[in-house]
Structure 1
């Protein structure tokens, strides 16, 4: 069940980041600082910062649970460990170190704190770094899904009874 949970969470996370890339980013980062101001006005009731941290925690927790629960199965072990490591590196650690400070500059600091040139620079860095997060999410989703497919194939073939010997085969 942990394997299904991590696949579900990883797919949701990757899909969310991919959707954000094509739907929100052109509007948020299209013309900083004006587009950043519009984003502040639009994302009042909720935004990516409300959605991704709990979902990321679900990927990490279910990934660690799946790692522990599948550890004895060498067909799955390294797919899950790889997925967890990629997600933690690209979507968690990278976000904390790279994105969170830039989010603070663009969306938390009071308007007028930073020059338009600096906001354009930070927005450009954010968009460039976003491709690391998107790629990490894609790799995580692919690795977890591969593990799930390997598990399904292994359990499907293990539950299929061996063909019966034809009548008179032993004579």
Structure 2
């Protein structure tokens, strides 16, 4: 949850930097999709099958299949988190580059490049 909040705050405060905007937006959307939506749609039903209903309702073979599906989904979530991290890192590098470029532009005024007569 903290990752989503900090990602959203970064997106809001860094929105004016167009070169970073979509990298950070992609990261936040991937975090929402990979963490929240995948959990609600994919993991919660499997948790119910494995831990709430268990062997009282399902066979051991079905529970084993459900556990394998859960593990496969987990690796998908890990991969999505890795891609989201790369997108966020790229966005932060773009924000940093924009900030450094702005600082250099302020320090070097156009009058510094006048030709001598």
Residue 152 in structure 1 maps to residue 93 in structure 2: no
Is the helix fraction higher in 1 or 2? 2
Residues of 1 paired with 2:102 and 2:13: CA distance? 19
TM-score by length of 1: 0.58
Residues of 2 paired with 1:93 and 1:123: CA distance? 19
Residues of 1 paired with 2:100 and 2:15: CA distance? 20
- Which of 1, 12, 18 is matched with 1:74 structurally? 18
Query: Which segments of 5 or more consecutive residues in structure 2 lack a partner in the other structure?
Result: none
Q: Could you say which residue in structure 2 is the equivalent of 1:162?
A: 108
Q: Shift of residue 165 of structure 1?
A: 5.1
Q: Shift of residue 153 of structure 1?
A: 1.6
Residues of 2 paired with 1:134 and 1:123: CA distance? 16
Q: Shift of residue 158 of structure 1?
A: 2.1
TM-score by length of 2: 0.82
Q: Could you say which residue in structure 2 is the equivalent of 1:112?
A: 55
2:7/2:24 contact within 8 Å kept: yes
Aligned length: 112
Q: Shift of residue 65 of structure 1?
A: 1.9
Query: Which segments of 5 or more consecutive residues in structure 1 lack a partner in the other structure?
Result: 1-56
Give a deviation string over 1:69-126, Cα, whole Å, max 9, x none.
222221121111111111111221011110111122223x165323211111101111
Q: Shift of residue 64 of structure 1?
A: 1.9
2:17/2:95 contact within 8 Å kept: no
Residues of 2 paired with 1:165 and 1:71: CA distance? 32
